[in-house]
Structure formats: C-alpha cells, structure tokens
C-alpha cells in the first residue's frame, strides 16, 4: 500500500533506474515529513556545501541537483600523483497541489539539505468544528 507521501510526491523519477543498474552514481537518501503547515524534505548529503546545490521548481516539479568536482595533487622529488573526481545527482519530486511554491525555502546544516514546502492556507488541516443542531 503506497504511503500518502508517495501519493503526493510520487516516486523519484530516476530511483527505479538507479536501483537496478550499477552505475557508480550515488543518489542521496531523502526523508519527507509532513506537519500542519508544511512538507519538509531532508536530503542527506555529507561532504557537500550549500554552494554545491541547485533547487528549482518547473511545471510543479521540485528539482534538486548537485555537481561537485574535486582534485588532489601530491608532488615529491621523484613522482607526482594527481587524482580528480566528479560527483553529481538529480532528484525530482512532483509537488502536491496544496504547496505554495512561491514560499519554498531551503537551508543546509551538518551535511543535511532541508527544504520547507509551505502549504497554502486552504490546504492546512483545520481543527474539528462542531455544528450546532437547531
């Protein structure tokens, strides 16, 4: 039975592909939480800084991408060793209709990218109201 989060956000468009194929590409783990006022997406990305991320919304789809290039060079009298690498990922999520895309915010702390997706007022859960019978 699919969870309500899967129903709203859908599966990551590339997750099935990467689950089945050994590509050397690492897709970071994601937590999605919901409270009264927002949906919260947490992306585990140790070693990355906030400058390494791009977050966009296109056609009601949240797109999180990262690209990082790194180099390490050691020189000695007799040899030189140079290593370099490149890492990237892309995660996409379909946004629920009740999300206010103009108020989406993101922060980065201790290797976790946190994206807050505020709900529109009409999408927020309201306290139960008792109807008086006349």
Is 70 exceeded by the pLDDT of residue 5?
no
pLDDT tens track for 43-59: 998 888 999 999 999 99
Q: Would you kindly state where each structural domain of the chain is located, as residue ranges?
A: 4-122
**Exposed/middle/buried for 98, CB within 10 Å: 0-12, 13-18, 19+?**
middle
Query: What is this structure's pTM?
Result: 0.68
Radius of gyration of the chain (CA): 20
Q: What is the pLDDT of residue 17?
A: 40
Which residues are bridge partners to 105 per DSSP? 116
pLDDT tens track for 20-30: 344 445 788 99
Mean pLDDT of 89-100: 92
For the domain spanning 4-122, the CATH number is 2.60.40.790
Up-side HSE of residue 89: CA atoms within 13 Å toward CB? 22
């Amino acid at each position: 039975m699919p969870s309500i989060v899967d129903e709203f956000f859908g599966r990551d468009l590339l997750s099935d592909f990467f689950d089945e194929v050994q590509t050397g590409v690492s897709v970071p783990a994601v937590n999605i939480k919901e409270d009264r006022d927002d949906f919260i997406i947490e992306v585990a990305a140790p070693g990355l800084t906030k400058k390494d991320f791009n977050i966009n919304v296109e056609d009601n789809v949240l797109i999180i991408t990262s690209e990082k290039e790194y180099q390490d060079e050691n020189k000695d009298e007799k040899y030189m060793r140079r290593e370099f690498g490149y890492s990237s990922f892309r995660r996409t999520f379909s946004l629920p209709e009740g999300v206010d895309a103009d108020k989406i915010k993101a922060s980065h702390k201790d290797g976790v990218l946190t994206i807050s997706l505020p709900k529109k007022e009409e999408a927020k859960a309201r306290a139960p109201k008792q109807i008086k019978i006349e």
